[in-house]
Amino acid sequence: MNIQYFEQEKLFKLDTPKTSYVFGIAGKRGYLVHLYYGPRLDSLQGIWDLARVGENPALADANTKDELSYVDCMPVEYSTDGLGDFRESSICVQDEGGHRALDCGYVSHEILRGKEKLPGLPATFGTEEEVSSLIVTCKDPDNGVVLRLKYSAFQDVDVITRSVEVINEGEGSVYLKKAMSLSLDMDNREFDAITLHGSWGREKHILRRKLELGSYRTEGKKGGNCHQAHPFLAVLSHNADETSGEVYGFSFVYSGNFLAQAEVSQFNSLRVVMGIHPEQFSWKMSTGESFHTPEVVMTYSAEGLGQMTRNFHDVYRSHLMRSPYLHTKRPVLINNWEGTYFDFDEKKILNIAKSARSLGIEMLVLDDGWFGNRFDDNRALGDWYVNTEKLKGGLEYLVSEINKLGMKFGLWFEPEMVCPDSDLYRAHPDWAIQIPGRVGRRARNQYVLDISRKEVRDAIMEQVFKVLHSANIEYVKWDMNRPLSDLGSFALESDRQGELYHRYVLGLYEMQEALLQEFPNLLLENCSSGGGRFDPGMLYFSPQIWTSDDTDAIERLSIQEGTALIYPLSSMGAHVSVCPNHIVGRVTPLSTRGNVALTGTFGYELDTTKFGEEEITIVPRQIEVYHRFNDIIREGDYYRIASYQKNKEYDCYQVNTKKKDKALVFFTQVLNEANQKSRIVKLQGLKPEAAYRLYQVTVEDEEIVKDTGKLLSGQVVMQGGISIDRPWGDFKSLLYYLEETID
Instruction: Tell me which residue range forms the domain holding 99.
Output: 3-319
Which among 118, 498, 506, 538 is positioned nearest to 292, based on CA atoms? 118
User: Is 240 within 8 Å of 304 (Cβ atoms)?
Assistant: yes
* Backbone phi and psi for residue 724, each to the nearest 5 degrees, phi listed first: -115, 115
What is the model's pLDDT at position 562? Answer: 98
Partnered with residue 412 across adjacent β-strands are: 477
The answer as to whether 476 is a domain residue is: yes
Maximal C-alpha separation, the chain? 86
Q: What is the 3-state secondary structure (H, E, C) of 446-503?
A: EEEECCCCHHHHHHHHHHHHHHHHCCCCCEEEECCCCCCCCCCCCCCCHHHHHHHHHH
Q: Residue 59's domain is classified under what CATH number?
A: 2.70.98.60
Given a cut of 60, is residue 64 above it in pLDDT?
A: no
Which among 629, 661, 687 is the end of a domain?
A: 629
How does DSSP classify residue 371?
B
Alpha carbons 509 and 696: distance in angstroms, whole number: 44
Examine the domain organization and report whether 361 and 489 are in the same domain: yes
What is the model's pLDDT at position 56? Answer: 61
pLDDT above 70 as % of the chain: 98
The answer as to whether 328 is a domain residue is: no
Examine the domain organization and report whether 339 and 198 are in the same domain: no
Q: pLDDT by residue (tens digit) across 486-529?
A: 999 999 999 999 999 999 999 999 999 999 999 999 999 999 99
Examine the domain organization and report whether 255 and 348 are in the same domain: no
H helix or E strand, kind and range, residue 262: strand 258-264
Do the bridges between strand 417-418 and strand 408-413 make them parallel or antiparallel, or are there none, so unpaired? unpaired
Q: pLDDT by residue (tens digit) across 587-638?
A: 999 999 999 999 999 999 999 999 999 999 999 999 999 999 999 999 999 9
H helix or E strand, kind and range, residue 35: strand 31-39
Task: Specify the amino acid at residue 430.
Answer: D
What mean pLDDT do residues 408-424 have? 98
The answer as to whether 325 is a domain residue is: no
Given a cut of 60, is residue 210 above it in pLDDT?
A: yes
3-state SS class at 306:
helix
User: Is 150 within 8 Å of 165 (Cβ atoms)?
Assistant: yes
Q: pLDDT class for 63, splitting at 50, 70, 90?
A: very low
Task: Identify the residue with better confidence: 743 or 725.
Answer: 725
What is the model's pLDDT at position 84? Answer: 82
Tell me the helices (H) and strands (E) count for the chain, helix number first. 13, 39
CA gyration radius, the chain: 27
Examine the domain organization and report whether 126 and 213 are in the same domain: yes
* Backbone phi and psi for residue 353, each to the nearest 5 degrees, phi listed first: -60, -45
Examine the domain organization and report whether 605 and 666 are in the same domain: no
What is the model's pLDDT at position 1? Answer: 86
H helix or E strand, kind and range, residue 563: helix 553-564
How does DSSP classify residue 353?
H
- Residue 24 CB burial class (10 angstroms; 0-12, 13-18, ≥19): buried
Q: Residue 605's domain is classified under what CATH number?
A: 3.20.20.70
Given a cut of 70, is residue 396 above it in pLDDT?
A: yes
Which among 160, 176, 195, 146 is positioned nearest to 295, based on CA atoms? 160
Q: pLDDT by residue (tens digit) across 545-591?
A: 999 999 999 999 999 999 999 999 999 999 999 999 999 999 999 99
The sign one gets for the Cα dihedral 562, 231, 542, 607 is negative
Do the bridges between strand 3-6 and strand 11-15 make them parallel or antiparallel, or are there none, so unpaired? antiparallel
Q: pLDDT by residue (tens digit) across 99-144?
A: 999 999 999 999 999 999 999 999 999 999 999 999 999 999 999 9
What mean pLDDT do residues 207-227 have? 94
User: Is 727 within 8 Å of 671 (Cβ atoms)?
Assistant: no
The answer as to whether 635 is a domain residue is: no
How does DSSP classify residue 157?
S
The answer as to whether 327 is a domain residue is: no
Alpha carbons 609 and 349: distance in angstroms, whole number: 10
Task: Identify the residue with better confidence: 675 or 323.
Answer: 323
What mean pLDDT do residues 696-724 have? 96
Alpha carbons 49 and 34: distance in angstroms, whole number: 11
The answer as to whether 634 is a domain residue is: no
What is the model's pLDDT at position 378? Answer: 95
Examine the domain organization and report whether 573 and 459 are in the same domain: yes
Q: pLDDT class for 74, splitting at 50, 70, 90?
A: confident
Partnered with residue 637 across adjacent β-strands are: 656
What mean pLDDT do residues 24-39 have? 93
pTM of the model: 0.97
Examine the domain organization and report whether 123 and 227 are in the same domain: yes
Alpha carbons 34 and 48: distance in angstroms, whole number: 10
What is the pLDDT of the chain when averaged over all its residues?
A: 95
Contacts of 54 (CB under 8 A, 6+ apart): none
Which among 581, 602, 629 is the end of a domain?
A: 629
Examine the domain organization and report whether 76 and 222 are in the same domain: yes
Examine the domain organization and report whether 284 and 405 are in the same domain: no
User: Is 722 within 8 Å of 676 (Cβ atoms)?
Assistant: no
What is the model's pLDDT at position 703? Answer: 94
Q: pLDDT by residue (tens digit) across 286-325?
A: 999 999 999 999 999 999 999 999 999 999 999 999 999 9
3-state SS class at 676:
coil
- Catalytic annotation, residues: 479, 549
Query: Is cis: bond before 294, omega within 30 of 0?
Result: no
Q: pLDDT class for 94, splitting at 50, 70, 90?
A: very high
What is the model's pLDDT at position 83? Answer: 84
Alpha carbons 669 and 74: distance in angstroms, whole number: 50
Angle CA(505)–CA(510)–CA(515) in degrees, nearest 5?
125
Alpha carbons 142 and 619: distance in angstroms, whole number: 69
What mean pLDDT do residues 43-59 have? 79
Examine the domain organization and report whether 456 and 477 are in the same domain: yes
Long-range pairs, 624-627, Cβ under 8 A, ≥24: 624/360, 624/704, 625/594, 625/598, 625/697, 625/699, 625/704, 625/735, 626/329, 626/332, 626/598, 626/602, 627/329
What mean pLDDT do residues 647-659 have? 96
Angle CA(568)–CA(569)–CA(573) in degrees, nearest 5?
115
The answer as to whether 696 is a domain residue is: yes
* Backbone phi and psi for residue 516, each to the nearest 5 degrees, phi listed first: -75, -30
Q: How many domains does the chain have?
A: 3
What mean pLDDT do residues 226-254 have? 97
Which among 629, 661, 683 is the end of a domain?
A: 629
What is the model's pLDDT at position 53? Answer: 67
Alpha carbons 310 and 24: distance in angstroms, whole number: 30
3-state SS class at 289:
coil
* Backbone phi and psi for residue 546, each to the nearest 5 degrees, phi listed first: -70, 120
Alpha carbons 309 and 243: distance in angstroms, whole number: 11
H helix or E strand, kind and range, residue 546: strand 544-546
Q: pLDDT class for 66, splitting at 50, 70, 90?
A: low
Q: pLDDT by residue (tens digit) across 324-358?
A: 999 999 999 999 999 999 999 999 999 999 999 99
How far out from the chain centre does Cα 200 lie?
A: 16
Examine the domain organization and report whether 348 and 228 are in the same domain: no
Task: Specify the amino acid at residue 87.
Answer: R
Q: Of the ranges 22-31, 302-311, 360-369, which one carries the lowest mean pLDDT score?
A: 22-31
Q: Residue 706's domain is classified under what CATH number?
A: 2.60.40.1180
Examine the domain organization and report whether 569 and 680 are in the same domain: no
What is the model's pLDDT at position 673? Answer: 87
Q: pLDDT by residue (tens digit) across 428-452?
A: 999 999 999 999 999 999 999 999 9
The answer as to whether 237 is a domain residue is: yes
